[in-house]
Amino acid sequence: MNLETKKVKSPFKPDSKYMSDLAAQVQSKVGIEKKEVFRKDKSVKIPSKRNESLQLSVEFGFPLTTEKSKPESKVEDLIIEESKEEAVLKASVQEIIEVTKPVFEDFPHSGLVLRREDLPQIEEAKIEEAIEDIESEAGKDIVQETINELAAPIENEIVEEIEYDSIELDLLHEEMEKRQQSEVSTQEVYDTLANRSESSQPVEKNTQEKKSLSIPWASIFGAVASLVAVAAAWFVWTVIQKPMAIDDWADQNVVAANTPENPIVNSTKEEKNTSKEFQVPSLDTDVGLVYDLIVDDDLPIHKNIEFQELSEQGRISSVELEKEGLMVLELEDVIFDEIVLAP
């Protein structure tokens, strides 16, 4: 990490509240009036209530404001409003009633208003006049007729059957035939379309047959490629690296472990210790004596069987080693042939 190229900041970041508190402490300690040193962030608050009007401009003393979205008027409010109107109307009607002269007068607010006292008399007189006029025109007692009509039971309406002339029947037949013909023609069109769709399928079959008759290059290439792959696998399997049976592999490893390697560098003590792990059955018995002498910490003890296997020089050497206290020959414990030492 290169500090010169990459600027690392200080991790210490005191907040503004702590800073203002600290400034206040310092001011009090030095004995001056405490004042807010750090300006507080004046964040603009967005009004949460959208219903409030927002002044857009001030021109000629008339601020243009967005209209408040009025809350929906409740049922109670509406009832109150209606009752107010009613009260006003009643009051005005009452005033008018008090005035005696005109029967109908043009009231500025609610139009024509009748005087309540005179209303039944006027209605009765008008109705009687109207009935008399109608009866005189028709020559009937209308009142009685209307009473009879109302009293009579209501009969079900019967729809009259229509009677057609021969000409009309001919026209109907012609119309029927036309419709049948049009239906037949549409059916034919459907049939032809269906036949065409069926006829297109055999064509596709023919093209497929033609295709199948052509040489299948793809399958040939596939077969060739598979053959090549098999041949390559066989080549690898047999020639390049023939896999070894597990027994063969084990034998090979054992032989490799037992064959002594010519040391490039003089072997150290550690290497000798590690070589002890490998028991070397193929070593000559003479060499084995010396090997045991070197490797074993304790005195090597040899029995006669091993001794008999020694060469002449080996026997002489082993006797000399026993004399020097480097080896123990337990020859007297077992029966053995007489050993003939060279002079």
Partner 1 sequence: MSLPKRSESSNSMRNHAVSINFEKLDDAHLIQYFENSQYVEDVFRELLRRFQEPVYIYTRNMLSSHDDADDATQNTFIKVWKGLSSFRGESKLKTWIYRIASNECINLLRKKKKNIDFDEALPELSDYLLDSQYISSDDIEMKLQKAMCYLPYKQKLVFVLRYFEDLSYDDISELTQTSVGALKSSYHHAVKKLEIYLNVLR
The residues facing 58 across adjacent strands are 63
Closest to partner 1 by CB, 22 vs 316, is 22
- Minimum Å distance from CB 21 to partner 1? 10
**Nearest-angstrom CA–CA distance, 245 and 214:** 49
Strand-strand pairing, 104-107 and 111-114: antiparallel
Q: Which stretch binds partner 1 (CB under 8 A): 4-12, 94-102, 128-136, 146-154?
A: 4-12
State yes or no: residue 30 binds partner 1 (CB under 8 A).
Answer: yes
- For 55-93, b/e burial (b = at least 16 CB within 10 A) is eeeeeeeeeeeeeeeeeeeeeeeeeeeeeeeeeeeeeeb
- Look at residues 68, 107, 63, 64 and name the one whose alpha carbon lies nearest to residue 89: 107
- Minimum Å distance from CB 34 to partner 1? 10
Q: Which stretch binds partner 1 (CB under 8 A): 24-32, 66-74, 95-103, 255-263?
A: 24-32
Q: Number of residues in contact with partner 1, rule: CB under 8 A?
A: 26
| Touching partner 1, residues 35-94 (CB under 8 A) | 35, 37-38
Total Cβ atoms within 10 A of residue 142: 13
Rule CB under 8 A: choose which of 22, 138, 193, 227 binds partner 1: 22
Closest to partner 1 by CB, 7 vs 269, is 7
Cβ(334)–Cβ(306) below 8 Å: no
- Look at residues 248, 255, 305, 264 and name the one whose alpha carbon lies nearest to residue 282: 255
Three-state secondary-structure class, residue 90: helix
State yes or no: residue 29 binds partner 1 (CB under 8 A).
Answer: yes
State yes or no: residue 341 binds partner 1 (CB under 8 A).
Answer: no
State yes or no: residue 15 binds partner 1 (CB under 8 A).
Answer: yes
- Minimum Å distance from CB 233 to partner 1? 49
Closest to partner 1 by CB, 37 vs 254, is 37
**Nearest-angstrom CA–CA distance, 123 and 3:** 110
State yes or no: residue 155 binds partner 1 (CB under 8 A).
Answer: no
Which two three-digit tokens encode residue 178? 């036309």
State yes or no: residue 325 binds partner 1 (CB under 8 A).
Answer: no
Residue with tokens 């070589």: 275
State yes or no: residue 137 binds partner 1 (CB under 8 A).
Answer: no
Site residues (CB under 8 A) for partner 1? 1-4, 8-15, 18-19, 22-23, 25-27, 29-30, 32-33, 35, 37-38
